[in-house]
Amino acid sequence: MQRYIVIRFIQTVITLLILSIVIFTLVRMSGDPVLLMLPETATEEDYELMKSQLGLNKPVYQQYLIFLFDAVKGDFGKSIRTRKPVILSIKETLPNSIKLVTVAFVIGFALSIPLGIVAAVKKGTVWDNMARVVTGLGQSIPTFWVGLMLLQIFVVWLRILPASGMDTWQHYVMPATCLGIFLMSGVARLLRSSMLDVLDSEFVKMARIKGVRESVVIWKHALRNSLLSVVSFGGMYIAIMVTGAILVETVFAWPGFGRLAYAAIVNQDFPLIQGVVLTAGAVVMSANFFTDILYAYLDPRIRVQV
């Protein structure tokens, strides 16, 4: 297990390094930042001066190394627009997003576990079909549209929920539901199919042979095993959440990381883009890392070596 953790950790670091190279290259290919930052009236000398100030006249590999070491120290430079250190913006917004995503996760799993179980246990019945329709809609309707509909219903018509901000629990209801629905659909479908596999397995048959109650067969013997495959996709849910958060936070004006990312891209604010993408990458990678360890912990076949 320890060996496993070390190996996975090294893999994570390598992946992050590759990500940093890709971002570094892409940002430099997507346009000249100096031109973006300079006023129209700037002269050739202004251009050269700024270039050397930003370190852009050094060889590319040096530029990358500087960028990398700064990034490790948490220094992503300053926003071109606001001149505010990128790391400060990230520190302000990331916790807000984590709060939102946590609530969304709770909502998503609270909905998807019963839904997935019912769909599998009642396979082929009207329950299964209803679950299929619900999860199908959840996956195919764009998140921002769900958000706009919620706004229309609860803010414009019923006037019972606040439209934006994050001060009270009421503020969480709509954005978290919005994100949660998207998560729910994927998880419920995954759970349904792995549950069907497990319910068909010999050890479930064996449990029934022992005279185990059907509810115990489902909640103890089958669910525990089916959740393993759900957990193994944990990193992917975080990735989905990051993309989802960009949309949802923009719709509900949530002062989070997703909205920061949106602003960075719209403004072509390249230090901010670099910081945001690298942070998002680090978040997703560490989520992957921790779900793998959680998975290994939950599955004795990995945790306890033969």
Q: Which residues in this chain contact another protein in the complex, by CB under 8 A?
A: 124, 200-203, 205-214, 221, 224-225, 228, 298-301, 304, 306
| Closest to another protein by CB, 125 or 168 | 125
Distance CA 231, CA 236 (A): 10
Apex 9 CA angle, 243 and 108, nearest 5: 35
Return d(Cα 178, Cα 176) in angstroms, integer.
Answer: 5
- Pick between residue 104 and residue 207 the one whose CB is nearest to another protein: 207
Please tell me the distance from the alpha carbon of residue 284 to that of residue 244, in angstroms, as a whole number: 13
CB of 282 to another protein, least distance (A): 31
Minimum distance of another protein from residue 203's CB (angstroms): 4
Query: Hey, what are 196's tokens?
Result: 């069907």
CB closer to another protein, 155 vs 228: 228
CB of 122 to another protein, least distance (A): 11
Closest CB to another protein among 116 and 147?
116
Using an 8 Å Cβ cutoff, are 207 and 217 in contact? yes
Q: Which two tokens stand for residue 18?
A: 């590759």
Q: How far is the CB of 234 from another protein (least distance, A)?
A: 17
Question: Residue 159 corresponds to which amino acid?
Answer: R
Smallest distance from the beta carbon of 223 to another protein, in angstroms? 10
For 270, list phi and psi in degrees, rounded to 5. Answer: -70, -35
Burial of 223 by CB count in 10 Å (0-12 exposed, 13-18 middle, 19+ buried)? Answer: buried
**Nearer to another protein by C-beta: 30 or 125?**
125
Q: Which is nearer to another protein, 156 or 209 (CB)?
A: 209
CB of 301 to another protein, least distance (A): 5
Nearer to another protein, 59 or 124 (CB): 124
The amino acid at residue 261 is A
Cα 81 from Cα 37, distance rounded (Å): 8
d(CA 39, CA 45): 13
Minimum CB distance to another protein, residue 67 (Å): 45
Q: How far is the CB of 191 from another protein (least distance, A)?
A: 16
Residues 249, 97: contact at Cβ < 8 Å? yes
Q: H helices within 141-168, ranges in order?
A: 143-150
Q: Using an 8 Å Cβ cutoff, are 256 and 97 in contact?
A: yes
Largest CA distance in the chain: 86
Residue 220: both structure tokens together: 């103890």
Q: In the complex with another protein, which residue's Cβ is closer, 39 or 300?
A: 300
